[in-house]
Amino acid sequence: MTVSTDILIVGAGQGGAQVAISLRQGGFEGSITMVGDEPDAPYDRPPLSKDYLAGEKTVDRLSLRKPEFWQEKAVDLCLGARVVTIDADSHQATTDQGRTYHYGKLIWAAGGFARPLSIPGGDHAGIHVIRTRAQVDQLRSEAETAQNIVIIGGGYIGLEAAAVLIKQGKKITLLEAEDRVLARVAGADISAFYEAEHRRQGVDIGTGVGVTHLTGENGRVKSVVLANGDELTADLVIAGIGLVPNKDVMEAAGAKCSNGVDVDDLCRTSLADIFSIGDCACHKNSYADGVHLRVESVPNAVGQAKAVASVILGAPKPFTDVPWFWSNQYDLKLQTAGLNHGYDETLLRGDPASRSFSLLYLRKGQIIAVDAVNMIKDFMAGKKLVAQAIVVDKAQLADTEIPLKSFVV
Amino acid sequence: MAKLHVLTSDGTETILNGDVDTSVLEIMQDAGNSDLMALCGGCCSCATCHVYVDEQWLSAVGAVSEDEGDLLDSSDHKKNNSRLACQVKMTDALDGLRVMIAPED
């Protein structure tokens, strides 16, 4: 069966949804089809490791729009289907259900999947990842009866899950291979603060800890065995060890790919009429000194979606906003502006013991990123300072008596 | 159910029905309004659901929290009646509330 569609959006996440929304807002009247491999209409992913995991947010409230919205906007949702081949020359894409779309433009917004544990025993039942609503439903249901939970990976996902589950009275052990949590994304002051906070809340954190394998019983995980020989009892394991971008289908179609699908500043891939956005799109980022990278965040996916819509609507506008992120753990609101790639210095504003402070990242004296903990003012001002690529006197910068926003030009 | 009047910057006014205890943002999104980006999903971590509350309703919607105030302070379009739509909960007393979409920063 072949179906013609002016716009084929592959991926029904936040980025894909925004392409459709922005096109309709801009008066686009052509046909739009959105194919998603999950059974769900577009929903908000960040709460999965936060208030949705905690059971404080319902599935209805996770949805970006009511189901009828997509119908009203004439967006044809094809859910539970995966695009498996693309023929860029003939402008055709085929799903795993055998349906072929003949498209005018294709937007590859397929995101990625949670990196699976690739160690012996990593495929036992009882081992979970946090990426989709269905995965988190499964996790929540099994967590009800679990007592000993081991979280592998001390990134945002692992720490957020730990913060939720420790509050449910579970025994939580969190293991990180690097010598500190958040090692790849934040400075040492932030890592030390979050390690201390999680320990204070009762989470047992092990850093510099390698995991060699997992043992099982009747196919179900039983323990986690560490490189030093220690064995930790586990009736549930969560792996939060990063995202693998979905790029294989694009690569097979001939698109230039690196750590993701390579795109230019208007999210165009190397293939005619094919764009890529969101977690899987690898782009040259001016906030990372021109390094090619992927940015895994909602603001990035939405901003890139709007850029693609602008091209299709005939008024191209690249997405150039400062990247930003957030992470909620306990009563701590961490907000990050900018990308700290290649920072050569950090500056602390305020005292972490007060639970309200920020860490500025500098490269050659220039402010390139800010991590703000319960310090919204510094986050908001920091975003502007990063955008303005400002160099400020360091002594003044560390002086909390001087509001960060006073440095904004 | 309570009524929410939403004005866009071009002067169009729509009247939406919303459940009490849901936020102004949620009522708008449920009605299919996509004028607010609401990038953080409504957890008071950004300022992309900025609205102006009709002066007449300003006291009724209650006080701005410190977090919300800090987020709004950074907007170039902040006014005395600025609010984040995710932080205003609909109540019976707010039946008929009017808000206007603020320009994007």
Residue among A65, A302, A335 whose CB faces B32 most closely = A65
The reply to whether A121 and A233 lie within a common domain is: yes
Residue B101: strand, helix, or coil: strand
Q: Are B8 and B69 in contact (CB under 8 A)?
A: no
Q: Which pLDDT score, from 0 to 100, does residue A390 have?
A: 84
Overall number of domains in chain B: 1
Note whether A65 contacts B29, CB cutoff 8 Å: yes
- Cβ separation A335–B45 shorter than 8 A: yes
CB contact under 8 A, A298 and B40: yes
The verdict on A229 and A248 lying in the same domain is no
Helix, coil or strand: residue A153? coil
If asked whether residues A195 and A253 sit together in one domain, one would say no
Q: Is A44 on the interface with B (CB under 8 A)?
A: yes
- pLDDT category at A29 given cuts 50, 70, 90 is very high
- Co-location of A353 and A387 in the same domain: yes
In a 10 Å sphere around its CB, with 0-12 CB exposed, 13-18 middle and 19+ buried, how is residue A16 labelled? buried
Asked if pLDDT for residue B43 goes beyond 80, the answer is yes
Same domain membership, residue A261 and residue A221: no
* Domain carrying residue A167: 116-239
The shortest CB-CB distance from B39 to any of A61, A298, A328 is to A298
pLDDT of residue A245: 98
Average pLDDT across chain A, whole number: 97
A322 belongs to a structural domain = no
Domain membership of residue B31 as a residue range: 2-101
pLDDT at A313: 98
* Residues 375-404 in A contacting B (C-alpha not used; CB under 8 Å): 376-377, 380-381, 383-384
Q: What CATH number is associated with residue A335?
A: 3.30.390.30
Burial of A219 (0-12, 13-18, 19+ CB in 10 A): exposed
**Residue B10's pLDDT is what?**
81
Interface check for A74 against chain B (CB to CB < 8 A): the answer is no
pLDDT reading at B71 higher than 90: yes
Say if residue A126 is in the same domain as residue A232. yes
Task: Give the pLDDT confidence score for residue A1 in this predicted structure.
Answer: 80
Confidence of residue A131 (pLDDT cuts 50, 70, 90): very high
pLDDT given for residue B41 in this prediction: 93
Read off the CATH number of the domain in which A61 is found: 3.50.50.60
The answer for A 208-237 residues in CB contact with B (under 8 A) is: none
> Could you tell me if A236 and A124 are in contact, meaning their C-beta atoms sit under 8 angstroms apart?
no
Query: Which of B12, B40, B49 would best serve as a mutation to test chain A binding (most A beta carbons within 10 A)?
Result: B40
Using CA coordinates, name the residue in chain A closest to B40: A298
Chain A residue with CA closest to B35: the answer is: A25
Instruction: Please indicate, yes or no, whether residues A173 and A254 belong to a single structural domain of this protein.
Output: no
Mean pLDDT, residues A402-406 taken together:
94
Q: Which phi and psi angles does A194 have, rounded to 5°?
A: -70, -35
Mean pLDDT of A121-137: 98
Tell me, yes or no, whether A97 lies in a domain.
yes
B56: closest CA of chain A, how far (Å): 29
To the nearest whole percent, how much of chain A has pLDDT over 70? Answer: 100
Q: Is residue A326 part of a domain?
A: no
Query: Using CA atoms, how far apart are residues A95 and A37, in angstroms rounded to an integer?
Result: 10
pLDDT of A312 > 80? The answer is yes
How far are the Cα atoms of A44, A196, B29 from residue A250, in angstroms, in the given order? Answer: 25, 43, 33
Two structure tokens written together for A149? 């939970």
> Could you say which of A312, A340, A366 is where a domain stops?
A312
pLDDT at B30: 93
Phi-psi region of A245 (alpha: psi -120 to 50; beta: other; left: phi over 0): beta
How does strand A112-114 pair with strand A243-245? antiparallel
Chain B residues at the A interface, defined by Cβ less than 8 Å, are 26, 29-30, 32, 34, 37, 39-41, 43, 45-47, 67, 70-71, 73-74
- Tell me if B45 and A328 make a contact (CB, 8 A cut-off): yes
Collapsing DSSP states into helix, strand and coil, what is residue B36? coil
| Same structural domain, A129 and A213 | yes
Number of domains present in the structure of chain A? 3
Size of interface A-B (CB pairs under 8 A): 52
What residues contact residue A331 under an 8 Å CB cut-off, 6+ apart? Answer: A355, A374
Interface of A with B in 239-278 (CB under 8 A): none
Asked if B43 lies within 8 A of A328 by C-beta distance, the reply is yes
Chosen domain end from A312, A346, A365:
A312
Residues in chain B closer than 8 A to A72 (CB atoms): 32
Tell if the CB–CB gap between B40 and A333 is shorter than 8 Å: no
Are A170 and A280 in a shared domain? no
Please determine, for residue A174, whether its predicted confidence score (pLDDT) is greater than 80.
Answer: yes
Q: Is A326 on the interface with B (CB under 8 A)?
A: yes
Same domain, A125 and A209: yes
pLDDT at B9 over 80: no
- pLDDT band for position A214 (50/70/90)? very high
Within-domain flag for A93: yes
Asked if A26 reaches chain B (Cβ–Cβ under 8 Å), the answer is: no
When scoring A295, A326, A376 by the number of chain B Cβ atoms within 10 A, the one with the most, hence best to mutate, is A376
Cβ-defined contact of A324 to B70 (cutoff 8 Å): no
CB pair distance less than 8 Å for A377 and B70: yes
The enclosing domain of B54 has a CATH number of 3.10.20.30
Show which of A239, A256, A283 is a domain's final residue.
A239
In a domain, A43, yes or no: yes
pLDDT, chain B, mean: 95
A152: pLDDT strictly greater than 90: yes
Residue keyed to tokens 């987020």: B71
